[in-house]
Amino acid sequence: SNFEETAYLLLNGELPNEAQLEEFRKVERNNREISEDLIAVIARFPKDAHPMDTVRTGVSFLGMEDKDCWNHDPAALLDKSIKLMARIPTIIATDYRFRKGLERVEPRADLGFAENFFHMCFGKVPDQATLKCFDISMILYAEHSFNASTFTARTIISSLSEIYAAITGAIGSLKGPLHGGANEAVMHMLLEVGEPDNAEAWMRDALANKKKVMGFGHRVYKNGDSRVPTMHNAFVEMAKHKRELKWVEIEAILSRIMIEEKGIHPNLDYPAGPSYYLMGFDIDMFTPIFVMSRITGWTAHVMEQLASNRLVRPLSAYNGVPQRAVKPIAER
């Protein structure tokens, strides 16, 4: 399988045959360009701004450009979803190049999804080992039920707002370090540890001082994240390919101690973060890459919500001070 096939499944509810997949790829590849106006806006962003802010603002700008943004017809929503999948990588790569003081690299319609993203970021297509690891991460990050960002998207679209508003809100939620931003925090942690010889002492000190250790635990998976073995294997192969096995050694030591001492297992961010690092991406690019994948899951949820919509309006259980009488202001 590959990410494009997974994206088709999420957006259409069925696996494609060869002709359907080829048509899907054709539509995605032909919609990667972004407008000169959006390119000019990205060029004006502060160079020290987090790339997630660029993605969020870029998607909002796409909504302003789409004169048919309020169209909730299923066919229109599917078209917008594929275009978001196609253009978000271009926004991310354009910002990456500008922040580096480099010229923008145009998308290429003759390249696959992963190949094109590397081309736009680095000006070249990497080897197959790198592409395979990247594609695996895209598949594993694509969809994961009612997480915080997905619920945000569904809540926004339930008010019959437009799809760009829902995705902009989802991106804001994903930016948080307890959600998508965790893959960045994992790599910062690994760099702090530095070497395998430091790993055990670092972890035991972190646990003793009740320090938050990123990349562990999950609100759904209590006995291990089912996505981790596949991503871990891809990470190990990537580390071998780059001759950087120390990151695998550090992760093995940290996870062993965490499981032994706390019974808490690694989540998907734990192997994904260092995998992106080994591919050559800056750490602040990790969560935007997550967006490139999860856009397919978010838009699938948006379409599902609208298919049988009710306004999301949760009730809250009040747990504050008891009811009080209102005193005149002179008596307060």
Angle between helices 3-12 and 74-99 (to 10 degrees): 140
CB atoms within 10 A of CB 47: 9
Beta carbons of 63 and 69 less than 8 angstroms apart? yes
> Which listed residue (95, 135, 225, 269) is catalytic?
269
- Residues with Cβ < 8 Å from 181, sequence gap 6 or more? 52, 174, 175, 287
Q: How far is CA 86 from CA 89, 147, 175, 194, in A?
A: 7, 23, 20, 37
Q: How far is CA 26 from CA 106, 112, 205, in A?
A: 17, 10, 52
What letter would DSSP give residue 331?
Answer: G
What letter would DSSP give residue 192?
Answer: H
119 is catalytic: no
The residue behind tokens 């354009």 is 94
> Which listed residue (95, 135, 179, 301) is catalytic?
179
Cα separation, 91 vs 30, whole angstroms: 15
Query: How large is the C-alpha radius of gyration of the chain?
Result: 22
Beta carbons of 313 and 304 less than 8 angstroms apart? no
> Which listed residue (119, 218, 232, 265) is catalytic?
218
**End-to-end Cα spacing for the chain:** 68
269 is catalytic: yes
Cα separation, 255 vs 261, whole angstroms: 10
232 is catalytic: no
Which positions are catalytic? 179, 218, 269
